Chain A
Amino acid sequence: MKFIRAITLCCLAIFTSCSTDSDEITPENELADLMKIQTMENQTHLVELYSANGQLEQGYNKIFLRIKNKSDQEFITNATIQWKPVMHMETTQHSCPVSELTKKSGTQSLYEGFIVFQMAENQSEAWALTLDYTIDGAAYTLTAPIQVPASTRRRVTVFTGSDEVKYILALIEPSAPEVATNDMSVGVFKMENMMSFPVVNSYKVKIDPRMPSMGNHSSPNNIDLTQSTSDKLYHGKLNLTMTGYWKINLQLENALGEIVKGEPVSDTTEASSIFLELEF
């Protein structure tokens, strides 16, 4: 008898738990696989910043945010947002490459975009993020400090090309490298002035992955990165034949086929002057 009762209970438990499942998007499951970085606030709104690991880091950062109305605790679904990260240095200040902030598809209140922090904070210099947004015609602004520690491996490189242009090149993918053919993507930006970093168009990023700890050997069948018409980023294929530390030597080629920065790796040239790093 007890046994039957137990079975019945079990069945009930299973069915009731099933019935609570729902495919409806709620603000909570929009955040699946995301971790909160911090909450910023002004008098009217709370802004929650998210990323995959809950942290910002020197280099490319994919960032998600949502705005909550303080008065009714509702999430805003119709905001238009501009963002501007600013590095406050001792003598000057500058911004960095950013994308547009757009509504994440399939969500109601989550906005997404990326920021490339070309430098990390230090004891006397730090980043702050300013959001200018409008909701139903009303404009708001919000500024808060953000923490951008240095990355352990080089994820972004800043250099002046032979054309005297200052470039910023940031690694986007692979974010989780594998011993495989990895889809590689980078963003290439130029510094127009201290506050404007537009995307560079129609260039080519040549790659040569090497393992300095293992005779500086390379891998075969890599495909140099070319610009995609859809996301304006540069995409190619990166082959990693084993785990460990890889130095991805780069050469940046302009639309005319001239190398503006970087050198081919050879027996005498161990590495290019511009490179990115991966370790896994």
Chain B
Amino acid sequence: MKKILYTAILVLLMSSMLFAQEKQRDTTEVVSIKEILLIGNHPKVHQKEPKPLGSIDEYLEASSKINMIKRGAYAWEPMLNGMATERTVITIDGMRIFGACTDKMDPITSYLEISNLSEATISSGQQGAENGATIGGSIDLKRRKAGFKETGWSAGAHTGGESNGEQKIAGAELQYAENSFYFNTDFMYRDAENYKAGGNQEVLYSQFTKYNFSAISGFKLSETQSIEGSFIYDQANDVGYPALPMDVSLARAIIGSLKYEHHLFSETIAHWETKVYFNTITHQMDDSKRPVVPIRMDMPGWSDTYGFYSKVNISLDQHKLSANLSSFYNKSLAEMTMFPDDPNENDMFMLTWPDVRTLYNGLYLEDVIALNNQYSMQFTGSLGRHFNRVASTFGLQSLQIFYPEMTDSKQRYLKSLSSQVLLHKNKMEYTLGMGYGERAPSVSEGYGFYLFNSFDGFDYIGDPNLDKERSVEMNASIGFDNKKWHAKLSGSYFHITDYIIGKPDFSLSPMTIGANGVKVYEQLEYASLINSNVSVGYSLHKNWNWRGKLILSYGRDNNNINLPLVQPLSYQTSLAFRKELFSVEIELQGATKQLDFSPEFGENQTADYAVVNLSASQTLFLNQQKMSVKLGAENIFDTHYSTFSDWNNIPRRGRNLFVNLSYAIQ
């Protein structure tokens, strides 16, 4: 494996030298390889998006690199390039946040609202290593803000409803902006009952209620310097998880940051920004709504993170350099208390996350070189120190039952390297990239103690001695763009050595009543993942647009056995008509029968499906105010289906009619 890596690096270095000899100064704007997804009431997206008040999850799902694991109607877990939370980095404006649920019921995207955000930058593989060590890539969610513009006061109100699940959405926002000051605040509320799957089948425990409040404000200290403070409060209550044996009574996040920005710091340093941040998450699982459980239990979890980053952007001839020094300190603690049927018996208590402290310090360097008006290259490299310590003696002693020699701390150095070549010639665009990255085990993988996975029915035990997971990746894309057509074929390949996955140990006795056994996190020699997709767009007429997308994935381990949660061949096609302030769109999406699935992980074959969605919108101007009305129907034919990433095959929503109303006061 190392040989391949070294050869790859050598080839890349040589190719860069070749390119460097051309010495052309004629640079153009470097095309970003990253995918940018616009979210919510972003001015650019508001007109086009058929369902502007959709959840963040629905927005992210639109990317062909992202899949969402669904355990219910709420808090879907994003997978990037087929990799879930532990192999990806999800940040809000560069801030690290970690969910507080041992069962991944609270991916950090669940603590946000579309009203908080303007866009998501999706970086595949090592392109996404800026905010921390990753394998699959990163999603950086950008806060929405007015910016230093003379726009004065504006306000807006949104409301929406959905027939299926009776979701009620209400939101309001207020903003003020001038040259040296801006302030945004918004509130959003969602409340949903159980949804119905196709065929009018009610999916019990799929209700949720969510409140979100956020504020952001910037202040100019001088022409080039500014500070910005940001705050988000998010709380969800009574969240049902139909795919899991428990629900959530409270999921709360408080997220705050303070940023100092300096533009044109010097002739070469175009931009320098430093941010300090904190966030605290409380998560309480709840089984009180379930009439029959083997045993009643409480499972609260807490995750607090403190961090900072300092980033400079340097422009030097045809180089665009950036350096990012970042650090975070996270404290993850989760408990489990089980209440015996006999009230005279003592409660059964354990620490499922033994107060694990993680300290990460990393430096990331990036150089984007515009060689000429056709070629550009990007190099990135990072080095981080990842330090874990078990702060709870109780927790440490618990784990020492499994690992008697275990000490309370573990240190790992994480490196990453990547390079990318981009050729833009005529109407064609080619990219080719390679990368190497490492990651440390997650808190659950390293220190989890009897974490029940309801998919395969196993209790999971972490292993603190796990080695780093290492990934060598290659990616390539070919794109074509002219007035009428655009088409892109892209693919990425990940060869992950020491791939971390739970393997059954039948000598161990499962703790959870009815569990199939115990799995301990182990490392496969390697695993291979491929993600590829084709997207095509065609403008039939000035008002008509057709789009199509095809996604194909592959995931196998070193014994050629399927990895879990690998997407079957999936497709999506849509036809849209837009004229002035009116638009209508019809969309077909589906997947073929799942051929590659992992029975070991509890998966069975997911049947093929196809669903049809339809939406229409009209924007009206009433005096100075703008009002937009969006109507739509999802899954028009009320198809009963579930996708490969629906936990325990819970069926997806059946026919749903929605209406989104937005009212803006300028």
Q: Is A181 close to B, CB under 8 A?
A: yes
Are B346's CB and A244's CB within 8 A?
yes
Are B401's CB and A244's CB within 8 A?
no
Are B398's CB and A220's CB within 8 A?
no
Q: Which of A220, A240, A279 has the most CB of B within 10 A?
A: A220
Cα distance A241–B294 in the bound complex, in angstroms: 19
> Which of B404, B509, B512 touches A218 (beta carbons < 8 Å)?
B509
Are B346's CB and A280's CB within 8 A?
yes
Which residues of chain B are within 8 angstroms of A218 by Cβ–Cβ distance?
Answer: 509
Are B401's CB and A215's CB within 8 A?
no
Q: Is A13 close to B, CB under 8 A?
A: no
Are B340's CB and A241's CB within 8 A?
no
> Which of B295, B450, B508 touches A213 (beta carbons < 8 Å)?
B295
What mask results when residues 442 to 471 of chain B are scored 1 for a CB within 8 Å of chain A, else 0? 000000011000000000000000000000
> Which of A220, A221, A239, A244 touches B348 (beta carbons < 8 Å)?
A244
Which residues of A in the span 169-184 have a Cβ within 8 Å of any Cβ on B? 178-181
Q: Is B58 close to A, CB under 8 A?
A: no
> Which of B342, B397, B514 touches A178 (beta carbons < 8 Å)?
B397
Interface size class for chain A? 20 to 34
Are B348's CB and A243's CB within 8 A?
yes
Are A243's CB and B347's CB within 8 A?
yes
What mask results when residues 502 to 526 of chain B are scored 1 for a CB within 8 Å of chain A, else 0? 0000011111111100000000000
Which residues of chain A are within 8 angstroms of B348 by Cβ–Cβ distance?
Answer: 211, 213-214, 242-245
Which residues of B in the span 385-421 have a Cβ within 8 Å of any Cβ on A? 394, 397-398, 400-402, 404
Which residues of chain A are within 8 angstroms of B509 by Cβ–Cβ distance?
Answer: 217-220
> Which of A179, A220, A245 touches B346 (beta carbons < 8 Å)?
A245
- Smallest beta-carbon distance A244→chain B, Å: 3
What mask results when residues 223 to 235 of chain B are scored 1 for a CB within 8 Å of chain A, else 0? 0000000000000
Given A181-B397, A279-B346; A217-B295 close (CB under 8 Å): no
Are A243's CB and B398's CB within 8 A?
no
Are A239's CB and B401's CB within 8 A?
yes
Which residues of A in the span 248-280 have a Cβ within 8 Å of any Cβ on B? 279-280
Are A242's CB and B349's CB within 8 A?
yes
Which residues of chain A are within 8 angstroms of B350 by Cβ–Cβ distance?
Answer: 179, 241-243
Are B347's CB and A244's CB within 8 A?
yes
Q: Which of A180, A215, A242 has the most CB of B within 10 A?
A: A242
Are B295's CB and A214's CB within 8 A?
yes
Q: Is B341 close to A, CB under 8 A?
A: yes
Are B349's CB and A217's CB within 8 A?
no
Are B345's CB and A279's CB within 8 A?
yes
Are B398's CB and A244's CB within 8 A?
no
Please classify the interface of chain A as helix (H, G, I), strand (E, B), loop, or mixed, using the class held by over half of its residues. Answer: loop
- Smallest beta-carbon distance B53→chain A, Å: 44
Cα distance A213–B511 in the bound complex, in angstroms: 11
Are A214's CB and B513's CB within 8 A?
yes
Q: Is B13 close to A, CB under 8 A?
A: no
Are B514's CB and A181's CB within 8 A?
no
- Smallest beta-carbon distance B457→chain A, Å: 13
Are B338's CB and A214's CB within 8 A?
yes
Cα distance A217–B338 in the bound complex, in angstroms: 14
- Smallest beta-carbon distance B553→chain A, Å: 36
> Which of B295, B346, B511, B513 touches A241 (beta carbons < 8 Å)?
B511
> Which of A180, A217, A220, A240 touches B507 (beta carbons < 8 Å)?
A220
- Smallest beta-carbon distance B516→chain A, Å: 12
Please classify the interface of chain B as helix (H, G, I), strand (E, B), loop, or mixed, using the class held by over half of its residues. Answer: loop
- In this complex, what residue of B is CB-closest to A245? B345
Which residues of chain B are within 8 angstroms of A213 by Cβ–Cβ distance?
Answer: 295, 338, 340-342, 345, 348
Are A220's CB and B513's CB within 8 A?
no
- Smallest beta-carbon distance B300→chain A, Å: 15
- In this complex, what residue of B is CB-closest to A152? B344
Which residues of chain A are within 8 angstroms of B402 by Cβ–Cβ distance?
Answer: 220-221
Given A213-B345, A244-B345; A221-B401 close (CB under 8 Å): yes
Cα distance A240–B397 in the bound complex, in angstroms: 10
- Smallest beta-carbon distance B391→chain A, Å: 15
- Smallest beta-carbon distance B408→chain A, Å: 13
> Which of B342, B400, B449, B510 touches A217 (beta carbons < 8 Å)?
B510
Which residues of B in the span 328-358 have a Cβ within 8 Å of any Cβ on A? 336, 338, 340-342, 345-351
Q: Which of B398, B400, B512 has the most CB of A within 10 A?
A: B398
- In this complex, what residue of B is CB-closest to A218? B509
Are A214's CB and B511's CB within 8 A?
yes
Which residues of A in the span 193-217 have a Cβ within 8 Å of any Cβ on B? 211, 213-215, 217
Which residues of A in the span 9-67 have a Cβ within 8 Å of any Cβ on B? none
Are B400's CB and A180's CB within 8 A?
yes
Cα distance A181–B162 in the bound complex, in angstroms: 54
- In this complex, what residue of A is CB-closest to B505? A220
Are A241's CB and B450's CB within 8 A?
yes
Cα distance A279–B397 in the bound complex, in angstroms: 18
- In this complex, what residue of A is CB-closest to B508? A220
Which residues of chain B are within 8 angstroms of A214 by Cβ–Cβ distance?
Answer: 295, 338, 340, 348, 511, 513
Which residues of chain A are within 8 angstroms of B397 by Cβ–Cβ distance?
Answer: 178-181
Cα distance A213–B398 in the bound complex, in angstroms: 20
Are B507's CB and A244's CB within 8 A?
no
- In this complex, what residue of A is CB-closest to B404? A181
Which residues of chain A are within 8 angstroms of B513 by Cβ–Cβ distance?
Answer: 214-215
- In this complex, what residue of A is CB-closest to B351? A179
> Which of A180, A243, A245, A280 touches B401 (beta carbons < 8 Å)?
A180
Are A220's CB and B401's CB within 8 A?
yes
Given A179-B397, A180-B400, A213-B345; A244-B508 close (CB under 8 Å): no
- In this complex, what residue of B is CB-closest to A244? B348
- In this complex, what residue of B is CB-closest to A180? B397
Which residues of chain B are within 8 angstroms of A245 by Cβ–Cβ distance?
Answer: 340, 345-346, 348
Cα distance A181–B394 in the bound complex, in angstroms: 11
Which residues of B in the span 79-95 have a Cβ within 8 Å of any Cβ on A? none
Cα distance A181–B393 in the bound complex, in angstroms: 12
Which residues of chain A are within 8 angstroms of B338 by Cβ–Cβ distance?
Answer: 213-214, 242, 244
Cα distance A243–B340 in the bound complex, in angstroms: 12
- In this complex, what residue of A is CB-closest to B397? A180
What mask results when residues 521 to 550 of chain B are scored 1 for a CB within 8 Å of chain A, else 0? 000000000000000000000000000000
Given A178-B397, A180-B397, A180-B400; A215-B512 close (CB under 8 Å): yes
- Smallest beta-carbon distance A51→chain B, Å: 23
- In this complex, what residue of B is CB-closest to A219? B401
Q: Which of B294, B509, B515 has the most CB of A within 10 A?
A: B509
Which residues of chain B are within 8 angstroms of A221 by Cβ–Cβ distance?
Answer: 401-402, 404
- Smallest beta-carbon distance A180→chain B, Å: 3
What mask results when residues 286 to 314 of chain B are scored 1 for a CB within 8 Å of chain A, else 0? 00000000110000000000000000000
Which residues of A in the span 121-156 have a Cβ within 8 Å of any Cβ on B? none
- In this complex, what residue of A is CB-closest to B401? A239
- Smallest beta-carbon distance B520→chain A, Å: 10
> Which of A181, A215, A220 touches B294 (beta carbons < 8 Å)?
A215
A-B contact pairs, 15 of them (CB 8 A): A178-B394, A181-B401, A213-B348, A215-B512, A215-B514, A219-B401, A220-B508, A239-B401, A241-B350, A241-B398, A241-B401, A241-B450, A241-B511, A242-B336, A243-B349
Q: 6 closest Cβ contacts across the A-B interface? A: A180-B397, A244-B348, A215-B513, A213-B340, A242-B350, A218-B509
A-B contact sample (4 more), CB < 8 A, given A180-B394, A213-B340, A213-B341: A214-B340, A219-B509, A221-B404, A242-B348
